[in-house]
Amino acid sequence: MHHALTHWDSPFINFKDFGFPDGRGHGFRWVHIKRFHLPSGSPTDEDLLTALIAHPDFRDTYDGAGVWLEPRHGQWWADRITAGTYAAIGPSSAAATMHTWATSGVPLPPGLDAKLREAVYTPIRQATSRYALGALPEDAHHDYSPIHIEFHELVLIDRRLGTLTLLVAADD
């Protein structure tokens, strides 16, 4: 059965767009969000993860090069990622991971904090299920990796809103 996701939008939150009090802040951090409309019918979460991995917008190295023809995702070969590579995660654990990464012990400017609440924490809380990309074997790294210091990836499925959100947070 074919369950295609329809790409909706791709908001990008760049930390360097916000003024950190110390002037340097976390200018190399960002959150890239890719949102999709769920297909009709009632595909399982596993079907939806499989559909996400198959989607052309999944092939993104997140290094400014955009979507590749080669199957790369982040620092990995996309064909090494399966629905089973993602592990279910609770809302508080997912939000804590993102918050710890975002702040790293430094208070965020109010505008950035509000943006992360709206675009990251609220969708995490509201999702009907959440998945975190698990550890991949060393040989899953493609030839250009690793380029990111930290790389966090969550998939949020919200059956009430009919959306799937791919959240990638990284520093480079």
Asked if 164 contacts 48 with a C-beta cutoff of 8 angstroms, the reply is yes
Fold designation for 8-40+75-171: Protein Transport Mog1p; Chain A (3.40.1000)
Per-residue pLDDT of 152-165, as tens digits, reads: 899 999 999 999 99
Residues of the chain above pLDDT 70, percent: 84
* H or E, element range at 95: helix 91-103
Residue 80 has pLDDT above 50, yes or no: yes
**With a threshold of 0.95, does the pTM exceed it?**
no
Instruction: Match 């380029």 to its residue by tokens.
Output: 147
Burial of 51-89, coded b for 16+ CB within 10 Å and e otherwise, reads: bbbebeebbbbbbeeeebeebbbbbbbbeebebebbeeb
Tell me how far apart the alpha carbons of residues 96 and 98 are, in angstroms, rounded to a whole number.
Answer: 5
What is the rounded CA–CA span in Å between residue 154 and residue 130? Answer: 7
